[in-house]
Structure 1
Amino acid sequence: MAVLHGTMKVKDNGHLLIGGVDVVEVARESEFPVYVLDEELLRKNMREYRKTFEKYYPNSMVHYASKALMTLAMCKIVESEGLGIDVVSGGELYTAIKAGFPMDKVVMHGNNKSVNEIKMGIENGVKIVIDNFYEIELVDKITKELNKSVDVLLRIKPGIHADTHHYVSTGHEDSKFGFIIKEDTAKKAIKQVVEKELINFKGIHMHIGSQIFNVTGYEKSIEIMADFIKELKEENIIVKEFDLGGGLGVIYTQEDDPMSITDFVKLLIEYVKREFEKRELELPKLMVEPGRSIVGEAGTTVYQVGSITEVPGIRKYIAINGGMGDNIRPALYGSKYDAVIANRMNGKEEELVTVAGKCCETGDIILKDIKLNEPKSGDVLAVFTTGAYNYTMASNYNRLPIPGVMLVNNGQKEWIVKPQSYEDILRNDIIPERLK
């Protein structure tokens, strides 16, 4: 059987429970899929990050990477658990603002921030991570126009290839993000920033990728960054803050074996302390930006099984009431998942099938060659570890509604994002007068 996460349990009748809620009932009450979010697991992961840092490295801050899953309710949960938020767009920042999130705990990323996004960030007092030379001049210009200062970090590429999918590996030199260390590029950028009147240089940021199990890349990157920080110190430029980014992997299938959040944090701290002390550097404020490892396993998508098509001698397809519109990751990254027949959890998973979506694309495959418990039309399929990057990357392809997000906890179920209706899809459509 697939690995159960968080509060998942099996009822006597064979139904899957999450947060004390029967997800079979949830799925059958909706025409379309539902994203189910386990609040207890979500909070447990946040606390594990925060408490481990508080114990082993108090001068620290954990920023939740909101691109994984960003809603008004998520902002409230993050705030209540004492974490900050990392945003990468005006839309994410606006959500945090509308949620009343404390702006001094917000860090803003992005490789091509617009003028309005930077203005919004500076006006609201968030910390900005500068990504390129163009942005240095843009931030400088806007601070002068607003007559308001801003704290910044600079994103530096350590030149490391993380052991992950190349689309989510971001620390190597051939990446669209950040400054390279070679040829003094990063140093020149930092010197430009230090000279700006209203830009306060606080430190540096790195991010080597995501869904990482092998932490060797972190060890080497921290060593490289410590060398770079020492070079800066020799030129009287002090790095007070060091942001290590995010990246810890999660369990998508039974083959995945990530370390615990506690062990991951303790290793990062060990690497930083060792490399900084070796170079006689003062320990900086340490920051991380986990997203997937906080919300990934807390999410489950529940579908209803519809048509079943058997291609003799080749494959058996079972079709669901969703697909690439609510989960683009298999088509985009070749991502794999575990899943179960949620209304018959007590049976044996012996039948090899491929789960197809309902979008008009041959490539709309959610699960290829997975063993399930004899799927039948009308069954409920639960796909695990869909909390990160599923709702946030969802689309209206084929004019299908984007599913709602349901928070479950202690038998209570609440929408934190309402399911879209067909009317919602048409909301911004306009027919010019000449076409009427």
Structure 2
Amino acid sequence: MHDIKLIRDNPEAFDQGLALRGLEPQSASLLELDANRREALTKHQDAETERNALSKQIGKAKATGDEDEFNRLRGEVDRLKTVLEEAGQQARHFEETLNQHLAAIPNLPEHDVPAGADEADNEEVRGWGTPREFSFKPKDHVDLGEGLGLMDFEKAAEISGARFVALKGGLARLERALAHFMLDLHTGEHGYTEVSPPLMVRDEAMFGTSQLPKFAEDLFRTTDHRWLIPTAEVPLTNLARDAIHEEANLPMRFTAHTPCFRAEAGSAGRDTRGMIRMHQFNKVEMVSIVPAEQSADELDRMTGAAERVLQLLELPYRVMLLCSGDMGFAAKRTYDLEVWLPSQGTYREISSCSNCGDFQARRMNARYRKAGEKRPQFLHTLNGSGVATGRALLAVMENHQNDDGSITIPDVLRPYMGGAERIEA
């Protein structure tokens, strides 16, 4: 959510930020609504002041027995009552309309985010690891999983439809091992607090993290009008909502392993094979809630935590700084981690770490009070995948496959796999 005061102070900068997002200027229409709202509020305030003054005069007229003056003043008060009601309705109308417009506008990119339209304009920041050279033609995760008899898309489709999978045996345990490994890493080494959050949330929670109102078609809704979470970012970030936090209690860092549910309404025909794009998938999420001046460093810290996962799994990856046209709605700066997939001969996204600034905090009314100061400020929120366990599973399968179709289990996961070194048919 944008601060109308900042738009009022520098409308040109606001429109320039929107242009980087590929959007038309909107400051003029927003400021017109704001001016109408403030005019109605001023009218309401002036009428209230006049009514209060007349009320005192009415008391004097009644005390002196001046009935004509008393009736005249009562007539003026009745007229002002109508003015108050109309001005109040106008102020509420303009405020609601203004907030609806502001809620539909994405966050503005930071000044050094590369300008661009889509992923082709993203910039590589760094890479890690060297893609393995195979002595045989590497299979994709679907052929590997089905060859092992441990990955069943056909039965899952009979049960639930397309974009679902049933994992069995060693692969099911491997996905569980990945989640436990990531949670232990983030809580033990990176200072995150593990949370087991609700998987269904209200409208207010989805609005707070910016999924609503713009992305309703990408979500699943229950019969009692709650939403299945598309990411644990939603409940974890909303833990800070509607509160003023003391600076001494910051930063707050949360992590969770949850199922995620996405309708994928805008992805028809994309990644229809395998586990790249599912309606239901598991993910370990990281959320940080920090003072404003710490959010830039916190983004680097969070990205490093996600990178550590891939390094320990011995998966080659690269870090991409997303351009202005490829960032998520709430982000002002995003780093994507892309893991190497041998079957595709390219890197694919496995984690996305974003700094949202105070954009979500304004929607959630999440604030903090600096030591020694009375006036609270809005917090900054960050979120990142640490990482998606389904995509980590397929990356491990493809990068650690053997010519007989078995999967070598990375050393770091073997304690979670009962000491097993391979997954075989």
User: What TM-score results when the alignment is normalised by the length of structure 1?
Assistant: 0.28
Higher helix fraction: Structure 1 or Structure 2? 2
Structure possessing the higher radius of gyration over alpha carbons: 2
